[in-house]
Amino acid sequence: MQFSGANRRKLRLAGDQKNACYPHSLQFYLEPPSENISLIEFENLAIDRLKLLKTVENLGVRYVKGTEQYQSKLESEIRKLKFSFRENLEDEYEPRRKDHISHFILRLAYCQSEDLRRWFIQQEMDLLRFRFTILPKDKIQNFLKDSHLQFEAISDEEKNHREQEIIASSVSLSGAQLELESVYKIPFADALDLFRGRRVYLEDGFAYVPLKDIVAIILNEFRAKLSKALALTARSLPAVQSDERLQPLLSHLSHSYTGQDYSTQGNTGKISLDQIDSLSTTSFPPCMRQLHKALRENHHLRHGGRMQYGLFLKGIGLTLEQALQFWKREFVRGKMDPDKFDRGYSYNIRHSFGKEGKRTDYTPYSCMKIILTNPPGQGDYHGCPFRHSDPELLKQKLHSYKISPQRTSQILDLVKGTHYQVACQKYFEMIHNVDDCGFSLNHPNQFFDESQRILNGGKDIKKESVLPETQAKPGVQKTKDTSCALSSLNSSLEADMEGLEDYFSQ
C-alpha cells in the first residue's frame, strides 16, 4: 500500500472491473489492497471501522448474538458507516472497498500485543459471522469456492450410511432437512468449535458437517488465518511505524479504544494485607469475593483459582513480597509444610509476577477471559459466578451478601439473558447504593478501581439528585467517551495534517 500526501489518486475502474474486484458482500481479507489513498481517507477508514468494531463488541455484550435485536442494530450501524454487509441493488463497489482497506489498516494498529490481537480477532469474527448468516443460500456455495476452502461434500450413499448418526449429532437437523442438504467431510481438528461441544458426528478422525453448521468451521479457519497474519504484520511493523505520518495515528487507535490491562505498577504498595478481608466485601467483584472466601475457609485454592485471584491481587497493587506472604500464610494454616510451599508454590507466584522463566508479566484476567475460558470443575472456585453458578445457588449467595429479593431477581433475569457483566454492574450499583454505576464493566480490576473511587471520595458520581445528565445508561456513556476521544484524536491529527499540507505546497 502506498500513500500520497495531499494528492488523492483513486483508481478509476470501469463498472465491470469494479465488481470483479469484490464479487461478494463479505470476504476473508486474504489479499491486501494495492491502491494509493490519501492520508485523510486512511484515517477516516480506520476510525469508521473502529467505530464499527466497538459497536460489534457492545452489542455482543448487551444482546444475545443472532437475535433479532442484535442483528437489526448491527445492520443499522453498518449501514450508517457505509460498510458492506449484504447484496443490494445499488453499487456495491465502494462499501466493499471500504471494508477491505479499513480491515488491513486496523491490522497495523492491532497486531502489536496479545490482548489487542485477541480483541481485534474476536470482533472481526463476530462481524463475519453476522454477514455470513444473512447470506442467501444460493450465494454460499460460490463464496466458499471463491475463498478456496477445501470442503468436500460426501456422496449420497455415504450420507445415507451415516444418516442416523448425523441427525443425532446436529441440534436442529431433521431427517427431511438432511435429504436436501450437503454434508461435508472435514478433518476433525478443522471443526474445533463443533466437535468440542459434541455438535457434530465424528468418525475415524473426520467430522461430518451439514451445510448449516459450516459457519462455525469457516470462523475457525478465519480465526486461524487472521491470527497468523497478525503475527506476520507485527514483524513488519517497525518499517511501518518509522513512517512519521502513520505512527501517531496507529498508536492513538490502539490506545484510545481498548480497555486498560491493569498491568502497570502505578498503584503498587498501596494496599496492606490486613485490608483484604474487608475489601473483599466492599470492593471486590463477586468472582474475587468468592475466591477470597474459599481461600480463607479451605486454606487452599486450586490452580485456576490461584491464577485468577492472584493476578487480580497483583492488579489492585499487591507487591510480590506481599503476595508471597499472603499465600504462604494461608496455605500454612491449611497444614501445608512451609518448605513445600516454598518449593511448589512460590515459584509460580514469582512466575506470574514476571520474575521467573520467560519473564512475561502476566496481566489480570478480563471479564471476557474469565467468562469464556477455563470453566470451573469440581473443587474449583474460579470463573464468573453469574456465568458459572446455578441460579439457585447464585440466589443464595446474593442473599448472603444482603441483596434484597427484588434486586436479586433483577440480577437473575439478566443472567438468564446471558448478560453476565451487566448483572455484575447491577451488583455494583446495589452494594454502593447508586442508581447507575457509570461505566461498562469488562474487568474485575475495573470494578475494584471504580469501587474505591466511590468509597474514598473523589467526585460525587452518578447520584440522581446531583448530576442529572449522567443518568444515562452505560452504553450511551460509552459513546460520549468515544466521541470525546475521537475529537481529541482528530484535532491532534489535524495539527499534523496542517504541517504536511504546508510541506507539500512549498
Partner 1 sequence: MESFDPAELPELLKLYYRRLFPYSQYYRWLNYGGVVKNYFQNREFSFTLKDDIYIRYQSFNNQSDLEKEIQKMNPYKIDIGAVYSHRPSQHNAVKLGAFQAQEKELVFDIDMTDYDDVRRCCGSADICSKCWTLMTMAIRIIDRALKEDFGFKHRLWVFSGRRGVHCWVCDESVRKLSSTVRSGIVEYLSLVKGGQDVKKKVHLSEKIHPFVRRSINIIKKYFEEYALVDQDILENKESWDKILALLPENILFCRISVPIDLQKVDQFDPFTVPTISSICHELDVISTNENEIAENEAESDIKHRTKDYKKTSLAPYVKVFERFLENLDKSRKGELLKKSVEIGYNPGGMAIDSPYCFQKLRLLTTMFSLTWWPTLML
Which positions lie near partner 1, rule CB under 8 A?
Answer: 165, 167-169, 171, 187-190, 192, 195-198, 201-206, 340, 343, 358-359, 375-383, 385, 388-390, 392-394, 397
Q: Is 33 helix (H, G, I), strand (E, B) or coil?
A: coil
Give least dist CB 56 to partner 1, A.
Answer: 22
Residue 382 DSSP label: -
In the bound state with partner 1, the residue whose beta carbon lies nearer, of 302 and 453, is 302
In the bound state with partner 1, the residue whose beta carbon lies nearer, of 131 and 159, is 159
Please name which of 323, 257, 277, 265 lies closest in space to residue 488, comparing C-alpha atoms.
257
Give least dist CB 157 to partner 1, A.
Answer: 19
In the bound state with partner 1, the residue whose beta carbon lies nearer, of 340 and 480, is 340
With b meaning 16 or more CB within 10 Å and e meaning fewer, what string describes 325-351? ebbbebbeeeebeeeebeeebbebbbe
Give least dist CB 188 to partner 1, A.
Answer: 6
In the bound state with partner 1, the residue whose beta carbon lies nearer, of 317 and 375, is 375
Please name which of 136, 159, 450, 126 lies closest in space to residue 285, comparing C-alpha atoms.
450
H-state helical runs in 214-283: 214-241, 247-257, 276-282
Give least dist CB 338 to partner 1, A.
Answer: 14
In the bound state with partner 1, the residue whose beta carbon lies nearer, of 78 and 368, is 368
Pairwise CA distance, residues 315 & 299, whole Å? 22
In the bound state with partner 1, the residue whose beta carbon lies nearer, of 150 and 487, is 150
Please name which of 175, 219, 170, 177 lies closest in space to residue 199, comparing C-alpha atoms.
170
Asked whether the beta carbons of 273 and 326 are under 8 A apart, the reply is yes
Phi and psi (nearest 5°) for 304?
A: -60, -40
In the bound state with partner 1, the residue whose beta carbon lies nearer, of 359 and 416, is 359
Compute the CA torsion angle 363, 366, 372, 375 (nearest 10 deg).
70
In the bound state with partner 1, the residue whose beta carbon lies nearer, of 203 and 460, is 203
Give least dist CB 182 to partner 1, A.
Answer: 20
Give least dist CB 97 to partner 1, A.
Answer: 32
The C-alpha cell of 98 is what? Answer: 471500504
Strands 2-4 vs 36-38: parallel, antiparallel or unpaired = parallel
Give least dist CB 77 to partner 1, A.
Answer: 31
Give least dist CB 273 to partner 1, A.
Answer: 26
Pairwise CA distance, residues 74 & 51, whole Å? 12
In the bound state with partner 1, the residue whose beta carbon lies nearer, of 210 and 376, is 376
Residue 37 DSSP label: E
Pairwise CA distance, residues 254 & 256, whole Å? 6
With b meaning 16 or more CB within 10 Å and e meaning fewer, what string describes 272-302? eeeebeebbeebbbbbbbbbbbbbeeeebbb
Please name which of 397, 107, 48 lies closest in space to residue 237, comparing C-alpha atoms.
107
Give least dist CB 68 to partner 1, A.
Answer: 24
Give least dist CB 196 to partner 1, A.
Answer: 4
HEC profile of 471-496: HCCHHHHHHHHHHHHHHHHHHHHHHH
In the bound state with partner 1, the residue whose beta carbon lies nearer, of 96 and 387, is 387
Pairwise CA distance, residues 185 & 202, whole Å? 10
H-state helical runs in 14-92: 15-21, 39-62, 68-81
H-state helical runs in 317-443: 320-333, 338-344, 346-352, 367-372, 385-388, 391-400, 405-416, 420-432
The C-alpha cell of 327 is what? Answer: 499465600
Give least dist CB 178 to partner 1, A.
Answer: 13
Pairwise CA distance, residues 232 & 242, whole Å? 17
Give least dist CB 17 to partner 1, A.
Answer: 36
In the bound state with partner 1, the residue whose beta carbon lies nearer, of 121 and 271, is 121
In the bound state with partner 1, the residue whose beta carbon lies nearer, of 109 and 294, is 294
